[in-house]
Structure 1
Amino acid sequence: MKTDKNIAQYLVNKLEKEGVEYIFGYPGEQVLPIYEALRNSKIKHVLVRHEQAAAHAADCYARITGKYGVCIATAGPGAMNLVMGVATAYKDNVPLIVITGDVEKADRNSDCFQEMDINGVFKPITVKSYYSCTPEKLENNIEEVFNYKKSGINGPFHINIPKDVQNKPMNIHHRTITKKKIGDVIESSILDTIKDIDDSIKPLIIVGSGVIYGGCIDELKTFVEKTQIPLTTTFTSRGIISEYDDINLGLTGTRGTKEANYAAGHADLILALGCRLSDRTLKHVATKNIIQINTNVEHNRAGKFYNYNIKEFLEKMNEKDLPQKDDKWLHRIKSQGEYPPNEIDKTDNLHPEEVINTILSKENRNITFIFDAGQSPTYFTTNSKAEKHGQLLFSGGFGPMGFALPASIGASFATDDVIIACPGDGSIQMTIEELATIHTYKLPVIIIVLDNNLLGIIKQWQDMQELPNYQVKLDNPDFIGLAKAYGIDAEEITSIEQLSMKLEEAIEKRKAKLFHVMIEDVHIPMPNH
């Protein structure tokens, strides 16, 4: 029998029973009953300084753990401030539970203070947006959200609850109805896939983050060990198998490794597991012989598409006597070598690639790297190797500026790693208030501000199109002074040697630190490989 006094308490108790440990949020009038329930819960609330940061923090927590990240905001402006972060998660199918309060039911459609069609806004950027206007609906909605996750369907889910409903008593006689969202794996699909593997000479696996969120990394590793099929990944699944392992060719697509892109261009069979096969991922794929397993039918871009739970599919495959491929194909791929390193010219300020290479030289440690939109992701992507999944994090398909700083907050609650966040001078100013959150919770986040006084990537596009530079110059603040105002130790970096030494010290201390690095205005390489 349900014993929760009201719906707000039921919701919080349900989240706690499902294993939610953290909620990232910002309180407001229309979510006060939920906050009162949280006050007496084991769930820890992380008070950010802007609602966008709550969504980005929850997103990054989910990217690392594979669990639901949860964020909360009040009605009207609070809910609207979540939109950027929710859209970012939606683009990459990151599992989020987004909770918003709303005006009372009687005030709906009355144009009252802070009223907004919240569900109308969230509908196109979530798997589902619920208006939980009765206790029974709320219970069915939250049950369905967790049922989706168990079925392998991931992405943001939005639950919008009027304030008066949050205080309503729980209906102890109401029974929820649950049903499986994805069909069972059919035996013929397994046998057909095994035959296709057996018939292939140059098979390749492309893995997406659906394998992480589906909780089947071990099943993937078993499948790869049994078949010895080379593997490549999308960005969001980098390190799912160590990139130091020969079987993992690294990132595929627009910024992919030479080995991965050679394999994509010459494979005669591709198994796309838990990935959406975006335009960037498919850039070098030549064969039409693609088998895709995904729970999202909107991502159907293959010759054969199976709408299955990826975990169940891999479990069924691993039960069979799978064909093992010989190593000639892998040797042929590995013989291609790597792309030559970029030439680094000496400049007045530090070269951005040299700075980033120094940061990445610490990668074989318990460190998670988070970078922002702009020029730096190309260097971080092409010059790095991931030992484990979640070690290199980027905002992915949506690419908003301002991601790195709040994402580092979520990462700090998801892993025991030291977090190194690398925003540009433009990006950090979009969410710089989150330095306060990092200070408040004493998070081990090292922030390295890469400062060229520019919106560098926009200037580069203007240069490439032979347009005069316009509105790309930044008159930046004193980042050292700002960090110290927020209670975070900060230093100016003027040499590579100093950066290496100071970064090592900061990693050892595991305390928040900001480094300001002036870098040269240099065009990033725009590889067409």
Structure 2
Amino acid sequence: MKVAELLVKCLEHEGVEYVFGVPGEENIDLMDAFRDSPIEFIVTRHEAGAAFMAGIYGRLTGKPGVCLATLGPGATNLLTGVANANMDLNPIIAITGQAGLYRQHKISHQYYDLVSVYDPVTKWSVQVKTPEIVPEVVRKAFQVATEPKSGAAHIDVPEDIANAEVEGSPLSLTSHAHVEANNEVVSEAAARIGRAKHPLILAGNGVTRANAAEAFRSFVKKTNIPVVHSFMGKGALSWKDELSLLTAGIGGNDYITCGFTEADLIIAVGFDMVEYAPESWNPDAKVPIMHIDTREAETDAHYPVALHVIGDIERNLQKLDQAFSPVDRDNEWVKGVRDKAFAELEAYENNDHFPVKPQKIVSDLRSVLQEQDIVVSDVGAHKMWLARMYHTFEPNTCLISNGLASMGVAVPGAIAAKMVYPERSVVAVCGDGSFQMTSAELETAQRLNLPIVILLWRDEGYGLIEWHQMKKFQRSSYIKFGNPDFLQLAGSYGFETIAVKESEALKPALEKAIALKKPVLIDCPVDYSENMKLTEKLGDIIC
């Protein structure tokens, strides 16, 4: 068979359902091989969109999403989405077509050394230089992408290699070893927790990656310790739980971050430092950290680890649960923090100001969606409001990219989420800046008949950048732009469209959009004057 055919058979053997991508001249052998495969090739309208889809697929399933591009501009377009997945620790395999080996020694049409280009943004980047190594390369790529902590692997396939004849078959699948902390470490951890007067748990995305939510919740109940979530750790504990301190990370002295100032031990569970710098919540580096994760912590002056509990997160939490003797704790202050946070959200339920206040948009969205429904946030000012005020019941129901945090992730991400969970409602929350970066994928959603809802927060500018400018300089610069008629644009792709023209119309619009079971775009003007009001409010909070 051809190398391309063997590579596709190896992907089949790994359980790949979809490959997202854009065809090109140098990967036509692979494209032809997919014709005879049960793997469904999803043609996207831009390579970045393909990688965003693969990344969200990987995040939701735990299996690597696969994306494909041709050489040169196709591969460099793909790069952003691959880097985004890698920094968010989502498992992903990127496959690129490449110039033939015979012309790689010189300057050549569309040729770049893609192994070197991808090396900084992946866990492993390799070129297939001989036909026989394909099974090893594919098996290793999947192994590297899924081993803790998960991320990206890249396979570069020269066109002359793809067309070469080869004999071979996929390698047997292997599972990762489940390592757990020894009993002495667990006993010491339980003793430290027992001695702490004001411990605080910081829950990261690793809880979700490890499928450890049930063990985590049992551990929280047993230890009676309040929990703060990172943006990507949302849902580790239900927002209804009386020990949930909701989500921190927006910056400033929020109600929710007040717990850090009084803590004498911070228990970081599955916490990924990339999304919430320790300097922000442990500025004096005086609070000791208990690091419960699959790997030892990154070295950081503001993250003084007193004890590592390394290995399978679920199993180590279970062992800690069993080893810990309950103690009484005064958690009355937690109720005060929760009451303030919920009062702020509830205060905007009936707000009639137009353009619509961010708090009102979040309140209406939360009231309409069910516990298991999925919100995919793009990057912009709306992300900060969702992170702070969209409260979750379960993990992976509010997807926020907060590693690389690339704009444009929401529409492709919503497409992937709907493919993984067709029975759930899926809403992409976008700003008008981020939406236009991948809006061509509306055609992909329509072609695949995926009834996603796009909730567009329109303010005619880069709202998050303006927020930062106003905080630092008290004036903004170069953040405004023009917009198309979004209703006509989405309608031309076959989307149903709804224009929100008064604040009271938003909730009915969301209800209608979900009930239609069709692709829908809601155009909602937003009043971002609330950004600076929030900044002033955070500055006035005294813990």
CA distance in 2, matches of 1:178, 1:101: 27
Give 3-state SS (helix, strand or coil) of 2:480's partner: coil
1:126 aligned partner: 122
Which of the numbers 359, 379, 384 marks the counterpart of 1:378?
384
Alignment of 1:68-467 (within 5 A): 68-148=64-144, 151-172=147-168, 185-254=181-250, 260-278=256-274, 280=276, 282=278, 283-285=280-282, 287-297=286-296, 299-300=298-299, 301-304=303-306, 306=308, 308-311=310-313, 313-314=315-316, 317=319, 321-336=322-337, 337-339=339-341, 341=344, 349-415=355-421, 416-466=423-473
Q: CA deviation at 1:53?
A: 0.3
Q: CA deviation at 1:346?
A: 6.8
**Contact kept in structure 2, 1:152 and 1:309, CA below 8 Å:** no
Instruction: Show CA shifts across 1:235-283 (max 9, x none).
Output: 1121123221223322233459966423333222222222223473532
Q: Which stretch of the first structure deviates more once superposed, 373-382 or 6-15? A: 6-15
CA distance in 1, matches of 2:45, 2:17: 20
**Contact kept in structure 1, 2:56 and 2:416, CA below 8 Å:** yes
Q: Counterpart of 1:299 in structure 2: which amino acid?
A: E
Task: Pick closer, same or farther for the CA change 1:150–1:84 going to 2, 3 Å.
Answer: closer
1:478 aligned partner: 485
**Contact kept in structure 2, 1:255 and 1:382, CA below 8 Å:** no
Q: CA deviation at 1:72?
A: 1.1
CA distance in 1, matches of 2:477, 2:183: 60
CA distance in 1, matches of 2:173, 2:126: 16
Give 3-state SS (helix, strand or coil) of 1:72's partner: strand
Instruction: Show CA shifts across 1:378-408 (max 9, x none).
Output: 2212222111111112221322222211111
CA distance in 2, matches of 1:356, 1:335: 22
CA distance in 2, matches of 1:349, 1:153: 42
CA distance in 1, matches of 2:281, 2:51: 33
Task: Pick closer, same or farther for the CA change 1:481–1:254 going to 2, 3 Å.
Answer: closer
Task: Pick closer, same or farther for the CA change 1:177–1:464 going to 2, 3 Å.
Answer: closer
CA distance in 2, matches of 1:446, 1:237: 24
Instruction: Show CA shifts across 1:395-429 (max 9, x none).
Output: 21322222211111111112232111121122111
Give 3-state SS (helix, strand or coil) of 1:86's partner: helix
CA distance in 2, matches of 1:176, 1:107: 34
CA distance in 2, matches of 1:365, 1:216: 18
CA distance in 2, matches of 1:462, 1:173: 57
Q: CA deviation at 1:377?
A: 1.5
**Contact kept in structure 2, 1:140 and 1:177, CA below 8 Å:** no
**Contact kept in structure 1, 2:451 and 2:518, CA below 8 Å:** yes
Task: Pick closer, same or farther for the CA change 1:329–1:192 going to 2, 3 Å.
Answer: same
**Identity, % of aligned pairs?**
28
Q: Which runs of 5+ in 1 are unaligned?
A: none
1:496 aligned partner: 503
CA distance in 2, matches of 1:247, 1:457: 31
Q: Counterpart of 2:425 in structure 1: which amino acid?
A: V
Q: Counterpart of 1:18 in structure 2: which amino acid?
A: E
CA distance in 1, matches of 2:519, 2:144: 37
Q: Which runs of 5+ in 2 are unaligned?
A: none
Q: CA deviation at 1:170?
A: 4.2
CA distance in 1, matches of 2:297, 2:12: 32
Count of residue correspondences: 524
Task: Pick closer, same or farther for the CA change 1:426–1:278 going to 2, 3 Å.
Answer: closer
Q: Which stretch of the first structure deviates more once superposed, 92-101 or 295-304? A: 295-304
CA distance in 2, matches of 1:321, 1:174: 42
Give 3-state SS (helix, strand or coil) of 2:322's partner: coil
CA distance in 1, matches of 2:476, 2:416: 36
Instruction: Show CA shifts across 1:11-50 (max 9, x none).
Output: 3333333332222111112222222232222222221100
TM-score normalized by the length of structure 1 = 0.89
Give 3-state SS (helix, strand or coil) of 1:502's partner: helix
Q: Which stretch of the first structure deviates more once superposed, 138-147 or 74-83? A: 138-147
**Contact kept in structure 1, 2:101 and 2:158, CA below 8 Å:** yes
Task: Pick closer, same or farther for the CA change 1:250–1:350 going to 2, 3 Å.
Answer: closer
Q: Counterpart of 1:122 in structure 2: which amino acid?
A: Y
TM-score normalized by the length of structure 2 = 0.87
CA distance in 1, matches of 2:254, 2:475: 34
1:46 aligned partner: 42
**Contact kept in structure 2, 1:219 and 1:314, CA below 8 Å:** no
Q: CA deviation at 1:54?
A: 0.6
Q: Counterpart of 2:75 in structure 1: which amino acid?
A: A
Q: Counterpart of 1:38 in structure 2: which amino acid?
A: F
Task: Pick closer, same or farther for the CA change 1:512–1:279 going to 2, 3 Å.
Answer: closer
**Contact kept in structure 2, 1:58 and 1:70, CA below 8 Å:** yes
Q: Which stretch of the first structure deviates more once superposed, 89-98 or 148-157? A: 148-157
1:516 aligned partner: 523
Q: CA deviation at 1:194?
A: 2.6
Q: CA deviation at 1:482?
A: 0.8
**Contact kept in structure 2, 1:372 and 1:424, CA below 8 Å:** yes
